[in-house]
């Protein structure tokens, strides 16, 4: 099972799961692993992704790997709402699946909302 680390020391993922924000949310989950556990991480992540993509409110996901020999990965997943992500994340089946991650895995999940910045980003 991965160890969990917070990306924000003031607002935890648990705090975020209790909110009722309107609209879609983006999950950013930063994984760090021992380099020898890369295959195990990819297998576990793929197993999780199969479950998540079948859940109501799931939109998409993409896994990224750091370059230059990095053993840091980022999962970027879009959900219709905090509620839909919360329901999937707290589902007992998903909780069983995350226990299969390699022991060296550290996960740092956090939820974000897309922002509009005039001249740069659309809402």
pTM of the model: 0.92
Residues in the chain: 123
The residues, ordered by sequence, that sit 6+ positions from 84 with a Cβ below 8 Å of its Cβ are 55, 56, 57, 58
Token pair of 34, please? Answer: 């021992």
Each residue's pLDDT tens digit in the chain (123 positions)? 789 999 999 999 999 999 988 999 999 999 999 999 999 999 999 999 999 999 999 999 999 999 999 999 999 999 999 999 999 999 999 999 998 999 999 999 999 999 999 999 987
Supply the DSSP symbol for 118: T
Supply the DSSP symbol for 76: E
| 3-112 is classed CATH 3.30.70.100 | yes
CB contact at 8 A, 74 and 30: yes
């Amino acid at each position: 099972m991965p160890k969990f680390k917070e990306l924000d020391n003031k607002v935890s993922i648990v705090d975020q799961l209790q909110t009722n924000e309107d609209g879609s949310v983006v999950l950013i989950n930063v994984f760090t692993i021992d380099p020898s556990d890369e295959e195990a991480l990819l297998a576990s992540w793929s197993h999780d992704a199969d479950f998540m993509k079948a859940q109501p409110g799931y939109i998409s996901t993409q896994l990224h790997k750091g370059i230059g020999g990095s053993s840091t990965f980022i999962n970027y997943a879009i959900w219709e709402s905090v509620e839909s992500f919360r329901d999937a994340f707290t589902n007992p089946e998903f909780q069983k699946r995350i226990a299969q991650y390699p022991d060296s895995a550290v996960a740092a999940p956090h939820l974000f909302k897309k922002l509009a910045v005039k001249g740069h980003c659309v809402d």
